[in-house]
Amino acid sequence: MRMLLALVAGMTLLGGVPAEAQTGVAGKPLRVCVLRDSGGVDPAALIRHPERFDCTTAQHRLGPGDYWAISEDIGLPSRAEAPLNMRVASLWQEGLTLHVLYADGSIATQATDARGVTPLIQLGAIVEQPLPRSPANVVRLLWHVEGSANMRGILLGARLSTAPQSVQANLAMAALYAGFAGLCIALIIYNLALWGALRHRFQLHYCLMVALLLAYAFSSSGALAWAWPEIANNFRLRVNYLLLGATGAAALVFARSFFEERVFAGWLGRYSTVVASLMLGIGLLFFLTAPFGVHLADAAVTCSFVGLATVVAPTLWRAWRLRSNYLWLFAFGWGAPILTAVARTLVNLHLLPWSFWIDNSTILAMMVEAITSALAVAYRIKLLRAERDEAIEREVMTRRLADTDPLTGLLNRRAFLHQAIGREGEQLLLIIDLDHFKRVNDTLGHDGGDEVLRVFARMLRTSVPQGTLVARIGGEEFAILTPTEKPVEPEAVLDRLRQMRMPFDIKVTASIGTCRGTLASEVDWKALYRIADAALFDAKSAGRDRVRHAMREAA
């Protein structure tokens, strides 16, 4: 509950309803006016004359350079028991010096070093400057911004905060980023484990995308400045753009490997490869060239994200047209990042005003993307499992059809020999032939004769112990092979046949020839079968409906 209250309080401070009821203007955005630095200006004189500053022209229209920025009047004290902080957005600039004018006429000054605002970075990449404590009220603030690229503005998001508000804001952002980091780490570990078992390529691409999302969140949140205090803030921003471009490229690579191949077939696959390469290349270009041409590099990054949006629409359209199984998951998962990219692009083009939440919306969109993609991966694995099970079932059915006599459902001759030859130990072979089967066909017709064969086969299948091979090896000729320690009594088979009711109550009998021996090779089979077949012939010659046993001569 305390964390929830902290999150709500932090959101109130950073972008919601101002906390004016408790702290005057603390927590409320401050109006800031700017003046280009023409050199040789005394800060003490400048801070006492705010009328010299431009409060109407949009900051981004003034171009890059060095600037002075002044706040509206404040009229609050910053004391030991209730210190005040000034929070502003982290922007591309070489240095930031803060001058504080107090009601007693004194001026306090804070200047950054070669690292820029890195020591002042808080979670959310917010620059927080503690106002020096004094019994006198703070009148106004004056910043000297050196080397401002002024891509979005010169000084943005200025607001006062009390110490509790600053703590609550950091707690809120810590909860957000820690939750996202934990989610990413869990997803990476889980999908790497799945990859180890299933070896689907898209799982590795998903892990790469989530790892880059995590790296970008680490950099853009300001945590990189905490972990590496010596880093210059402009270098951190360069790392942000590099990781952002790599993340966009990884998202496209993941999408290509995740969707069915037909979705990215042809020109769309080639175009997505080009866009992914451009995103990665432009991110690297910004990292390398920003100190020399940050505006051009920033414009290239904006164009690359426009290019990413141009891939999404035809991908979703083709996925819909081809009835992809993953369309709606990706449409939902990509919705938040695309809306975020559009909003940030509109801010970059100065069609929307700068906002802390738009500037930090990428992390929320990434969280939606990571969760939705995780669901998509789980769904893909479910479908792959279903496809695998279906393929196994088809394979089993195909093998069964290949090994089974279609009329009786018993093994056919090929499958019978494949399983019989090589059996260990002495085997008992029974060759069974239905007597006068031509008469059955003549009496009942071929359909009736087929039904007699099916009934007889069913009887054989239910009359033998487990592990016995039963096959139809000819028209009305059947074979039974069983180990001699689990013999099938041929007389019992004939007794059951005599008692069975056949179609149209026709009387059906059979003759059986048996032989014992080993089946280590095909030669053994031929010898065993020849002897059993000879015994069957003897049974036929002796009047049918009987059994004759034969012994295989020792080799």
pTM of the model as a whole: 0.65
pLDDT class of 331 with cuts at 50, 70, 90: low
Give pLDDT tens digits for 312-330: 888 888 888 888 777 766 6
Predicted pLDDT at 23: 35
% of the chain exceeding 90 in pLDDT? 38
Confidence of residue 271 (pLDDT cuts 50, 70, 90): very high
pLDDT attached to residue 22:
32
pLDDT given for residue 6 in this prediction = 35
- Give pairs for 198-206: CB < 8 Å, separation 24+: 198/381, 198/384, 200/380, 200/381, 200/384, 201/257, 202/254, 202/257, 202/258, 202/377, 202/380, 203/377, 205/250, 205/253, 205/254, 205/257, 205/258, 206/254, 206/258, 206/373, 206/374, 206/377
Report the C-alpha gap between 246 and 243 in whole angstroms. 5
Res 46: pLDDT: 92
- What's the CA gap between 366 and 209, in Å, rounded? 10
Looking at the predicted structure, is the pLDDT value of residue 276 above 80? yes
pLDDT digits (tens, 9 = 90+) for 524-549: 999 999 999 999 999 999 999 999 99
**What mean pLDDT comes out for the span 284-288?**
93
Q: Is 517 strand, coil or helix?
A: strand
pLDDT at 19: 30
- The mean pLDDT of 247-273, rounded to a whole number, is 88
**428-458, pLDDT tens digit by residue?**
999 999 999 988 888 888 888 899 999 999 9
Query: Above pLDDT 70, what percent of the chain?
Result: 84
Q: Which residues pair with 34 in a beta bridge?
A: 54, 69
Whole-number mean pLDDT of the chain? Answer: 83
Q: What is the pLDDT of residue 352?
A: 67
DSSP string, 46-92: HHT-GGGSB-SS-GGGG-SEEEEEEEPP--EEEBTTB-EEEEEE--S
Position 15 scores a pLDDT of: 33
pLDDT digits (tens, 9 = 90+) for 343-378: 666 666 666 666 666 666 666 666 676 677 677 677
Q: DSSP letter string over 358-412?
A: HHTHHHHHHHHHHHHHHHHHHHHHHHHHHHHHHHHHHHHHHHHHHHB-TTT-SB-
pLDDT beyond 60 at 149? yes
Average pLDDT over residues 264-279: 91
Question: Please, where are the H alpha helices in 404-465?
Answer: 413-420, 437-461
**Encoding tokens for residue 282?**
């432009």
Output Rg (C-alpha) for the chain, integer angstroms. 42
Band of residue 102 on the pLDDT scale cut at 50, 70, 90 = very high
